[in-house]
Amino acid sequence: MQFKRNLRGELDLLGAAVAFSFVNLFVKLAGREFPGLFVSGIRFAIGVALALAVVIARRTRLERAFLPDVLLRGFFGALSMTSTYIAIGLTGPGRAALLSNTYPLFVTIFGALFFAEKPTRRIVGSLAFCLVGAVLVVRDGSGAKLAGDLLALAGSVFAGIAVNYVRRASKGGVDPFLLYLSPSLFGLPVLAFASLPSGPPGAASIFFLVAVGLGAFAAQALMARGYRSVSAGKGSIVFFLETGLTVLLGVLFAGEAFTARFGLGLVLIFAGVWYNRR
């Protein structure tokens, strides 16, 4: 029974990783006409509307003991999402996703320091494969903007903290839609500071903008449900697949370059995921 729960949890996380990959691509495509901060704010607005509707319909209740976890998940999650979305606009979906998805390292570090989750040798080995692969992809000579790289790395640190709170709250039975409502509410005020498009946006950009909100909502729900049965350190490694798929989508649809070093990095990332899954 426990094996089936773990397998179901890993499949949920895998589905979330795939969904996030397409969301990253949609952020870049929507960003051709919409400012990054505006895209982030719309995502939060859609997240509030959908998550709140589900929470009300299900009459979800929150135990007082998990309120700090939900609030802190929301605060750090909103910081991570906003930083990553702006970084995607400044660089590209693949590069920004790669840097922001180094967060499994910070999940493991913060989990060991503050959440009593000891990393196993398999998790450490998987991280080594994935991080070496990530470095190879970053060192591709693309000349991306430093500000975008720093924002993506900041998003990674914030995500490393947020995922541990997601894990602890999910393990305690907190509704996944409530866990997504929290960062959406914390992030919604960014709309007040976001610039509007310079001209009337095209239908394609509007489609991508809406797809960002809907896709992120589905991915976050799957992630929260998956962490009910999978540890934060092990589960977060699944999201290195998001990096590989996002970069591939960026090459196919957003004009990002594919080099031999980039290909070797992806191979190492997938090797790390496979080693973790065995």
- Residues 175-232: tens digit of each pLDDT: 888 888 999 999 999 988 888 887 888 999 999 999 999 999 999 888 878 877 787 6
Domain span including residue 192: 2-120+143-232
Q: Which tens digit of pLDDT belongs to each residue from 63-113?
A: 887 889 999 999 999 999 999 888 888 877 777 877 787 777 778 778 877
Distances, alpha carbon 52 to alpha carbons 28, 48, 171, 208, 243, in Å: 27, 6, 21, 22, 29
Contact 191, 45 (CB under 8 A): yes
Judge whether 151 lies within some domain: yes
Judge whether 184 lies within some domain: yes
Judge whether 135 lies within some domain: no
Judge whether 257 lies within some domain: no
User: Using the 8-state DSSP alphabet, how is residue 39 labeled?
Assistant: H
Judge whether 214 lies within some domain: yes
Judge whether 150 lies within some domain: yes
Judge whether 256 lies within some domain: no
Judge whether 223 lies within some domain: yes
Task: Check residues 1 and 216 and name the one with the higher pLDDT.
Answer: 216
In this predicted structure, what is the pLDDT of residue 277? 58
Contact 215, 19 (CB under 8 A): yes
Token digits of residue 130: 């994935």
Q: Domain total for the chain?
A: 1
Name the pTM for this structure: 0.79
- The rounded distance, in Å, linking the Cα atoms of 160 and 76 is 9
List the one residue out of 84, 86, 232 whose CA is nearest residue 162: 232
In this predicted structure, what is the pLDDT of residue 50? 94
Token digits of residue 218: 């589905």
List the one residue out of 77, 87, 85 whose CA is nearest residue 26: 85
- Give me the chain's average pLDDT, please: 83
- The rounded distance, in Å, linking the Cα atoms of 1 and 241 is 26
Contact 42, 212 (CB under 8 A): yes
Q: Which residue has the tokens 């607005």?
A: 45
